[in-house]
């Protein structure tokens, strides 16, 4: 449902929407083609549009304050959809807990996500008492969701990720915690570092803004701006590790994204993802990082935009093509024969007959490892399935001249690249 909605939001039929939600009618005006447009520079019109879309498409009732941010539904939905794709890859468990940092007066992310996913739960924080009070009203107005969203007050001086500390998680979720206890975090931090930056941003716009901004200063300003806020999240996450599966944040500036990728690389965090969310003329970016050994598909972690290629993570899917016409054709059976001869490795046949999963529990394929095994052969070559694999990959024969490997799990990229070099060398 959510993916099709995202497409429909590219061209909203305001006349049809007003028939469903009559309070929208006073804000429409007829255009040259006989259809209807909305006056986006009217703050009441924007609030009514948000209420209409949330009611029609998600069955949500919300109260929106005049002096707080009015969340555009299409933009917020895009972030939820991307998080959904992330969770599908990394958290097969149906009972998902998410953390919304700075939930705002609408609590838009918990309400959207929980209306789409019947098995999702949220912890939602904010430092603003007015926003929390209104968020509580919005949750109460949606009785099917209120048991799955828990609001928590925090302060500007507290750690951003304080709810992920062991004692806090034990109190909130119980002493028997799975790993990770929280599948993901979401955040839409304030863009600006001070009121002067807000003024400069407004003055530097070459045209009038498409829509009015009704946010309070507490929602728009944080010391150092959004980049400093997320950098603090990165610093705190290093101590928390897998308390959260994926730490994520929405960003309003591409410059912030580039700066934060530099921080991740400086900290040695190579398991990260970036994406670009485009809705009409609005562009936003998301950054995510993890201390888990689960590796994301490139379609999720590496955006197609050429402008982002230099800061994208290294690819997790690699291909090797053979250009020698005299070489042996690649076959599925040839892959199996090579894998069978690797100690401390098992393989699984997959539904796709051209694809196989290889699970290695030790690095045994390098020359150094083979020499070590030859000098000191182990008494038992049995595999302990309870031990953690050093690398899990899926290997495919694309055609008789092309081999592909995808990194599925593992902490060390060097091990993955080493295994790929060994395998492609053996097969080609």
- pLDDT-based confidence at residue 229 (cuts at 50, 70, 90): very high
Same domain? 215 vs 132: yes
Q: pLDDT by residue (tens digit) across 352-407?
A: 888 999 999 999 999 998 888 888 777 666 777 778 999 999 999 898 889 999 99
If asked whether residues 198 and 80 sit together in one domain, one would say yes
pLDDT bin (cut points 50, 70, 90) of residue 155 is very high
Q: Do 282 and 355 share a domain, yes or no?
A: no
Q: 297 and 352 share a domain?
A: no
For residue range 92-126, list pLDDT tens digits in order. Answer: 777 899 999 999 999 999 999 999 999 999 999 99
Residue 246 to residue 271: CA distance in whole angstroms? 10
Instruction: Please give the average per-residue pLDDT across 243-249, as a whole number.
Output: 98
Of 311, 327, 350, the residue at which a domain comes to its end is: 311
330 and 208 co-located in one domain: no
Contact 272, 196 (CB under 8 A): no
69 & 205 share domain = yes
Q: What's the pLDDT score for residue 3?
A: 64
Buried b (16+ CB within 10 A) or exposed e, 7-34: eebeebebeebbeebeebeebbeeeeee
Take residue 165 and report the two structure tokens written for it: 């500390």
Kindly report, residue by residue over 318-340, the tens digit of the pLDDT: 998 877 766 777 888 989 999 99
- Grade residue 11 by pLDDT with cuts at 50, 70 and 90: confident
- Considering the domain architecture, whether residues 267 and 131 belong to the same structural domain is answered as yes
Task: Give pLDDT, residue 203.
Answer: 61
By residue range, what is the domain housing residue 413? Answer: 317-427
pLDDT at 208: 46
- For residues 176-205, one letter each, b for 16 or more C-beta atoms within 10 angstroms of the residue's C-beta and e for the rest, the string is eeeebbbbbbbbbbbbbbeeeebeebeeee
pLDDT of amino acid 379: 64
Q: Are residues 159 and 287 in the same domain?
A: yes
Question: Residues of the chain with pLDDT > 90: what percent?
Answer: 70
pLDDT one-digit tens code per residue, 271-287: 999 999 998 888 999 99
Identify the domain boundary among 284, 311, 338.
311
Which residue, 291, 311, 331, sits at the end of a domain? 311
pLDDT, position 322? 78
Query: Tokens at residue 300, please?
Result: 């999720």
Residues 204 and 103 in one domain: yes
Tell me, what's the pLDDT at 262? 98
Residue 141 falls in which region: left (phi positive, over 0), alpha (psi -120 to 50) or beta: alpha
Residue 239: predicted pLDDT:
98
Same domain, yes or no, for 223 and 307? yes
| Rounded average pLDDT over 405-421 | 97
What total of structural domains would you count in the chain?
Answer: 2
In terms of domains, do 287 and 357 share one? no
Summarize the confidence of residues 263-273 as an average pLDDT.
Answer: 98
Q: Are residues 194 and 213 in the same domain?
A: yes
CA atoms within 13 A on the CB side of 341: 12
Q: The CATH number of the domain where 329 resides is what?
A: 3.30.310
Segment 64-91 shows an average pLDDT of: 93
CA angle 378, 379, 385 (to 5 degrees): 80
Residue 200: give its domain's CATH number. 3.40.50.150
- Report residue 207's pLDDT band, with 50, 70 and 90 as the boundaries: very low
Tokens representing residue 70 in the block: 């009015």
């Amino acid at each position: 449902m959510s993916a099709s909605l995202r497409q429909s939001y590219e061209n909203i039929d305001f006349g049809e929407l007003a028939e469903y939600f009559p309070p929208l009618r006073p804000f429409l005006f007829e255009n040259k083609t006989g259809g209807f447009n909305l006056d986006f520079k009217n703050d009441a019109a924007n609030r009514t549009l948000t209420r209409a879309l949330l009611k029609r498409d998600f069955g949500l009732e919300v109260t929106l304050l005049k002096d707080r941010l009015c969340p555009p539904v299409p933009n917020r939905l895009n972030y939820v959809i991307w998080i959904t794709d992330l969770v599908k890859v990394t958290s097969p468990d149906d009972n998902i807990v998410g953390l919304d940092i700075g939930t705002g007066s609408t609590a838009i992310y918990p309400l959207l996500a929980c209306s789409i996913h019947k098995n999702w739960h949220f912890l939602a924080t904010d430092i603003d008492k007015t926003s929390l009070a209104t968020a509580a009203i919005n949750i109460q107005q949606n009785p099917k969701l209120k048991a799955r969203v828990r609001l928590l007050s925090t302060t500007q001086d507290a750690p951003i990720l304080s709810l992920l500390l062991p004692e806090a998680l034990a109190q909130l979720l119980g002493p028997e915690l799975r790993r990770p206890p929280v599948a993901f975090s979401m955040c839409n931090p304030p863009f600006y570092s001070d009121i002067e930056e807000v003024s400069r941003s407004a003055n530097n716009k070459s045209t009038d803004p498409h829509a009015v901004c009704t946010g309070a200063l507490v929602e728009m300003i944080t010391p150092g701006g959004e980049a400093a806020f997320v950098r603090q999240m990165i610093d705190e996450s290093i101590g928390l590790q897998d308390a959260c599966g994926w730490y994520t944040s929405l960003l309003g500036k591409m410059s912030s994204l580039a700066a934060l990728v530099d921080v991740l690389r400086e900290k040695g965090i190579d398991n990260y993802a970036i994406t670009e969310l485009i809705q009409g003329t609005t562009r936003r970016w998301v950054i995510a990082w993890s201390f888990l050994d689960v590796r994301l598909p490139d379609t999720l972690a590496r955006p197609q935009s050429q402008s982002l290629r230099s800061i994208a993570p290294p690819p997790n899917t690699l291909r090797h093509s053979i250009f020698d016409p005299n070489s042996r054709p690649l076959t599925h059976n040839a892959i199996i024969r090579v894998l069978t001869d690797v100690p401390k490795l098992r393989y699984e046949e997959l539904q796709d007959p051209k694809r196989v999963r290889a699970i290695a529990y030790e690095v045994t394929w390098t020359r150094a490892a083979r020499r070590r095994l030859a000098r000191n052969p182990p008494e038992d070559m049995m595999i302990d399935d309870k031990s953690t694999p050093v690398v899990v990959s899926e290997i495919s024969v694309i055609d008789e001249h092309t081999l592909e490997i995808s990194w599925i799990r593992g902490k060390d990229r060097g091990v993955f690249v080493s295994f790929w070099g060994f395998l492609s060398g053996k097969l080609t």
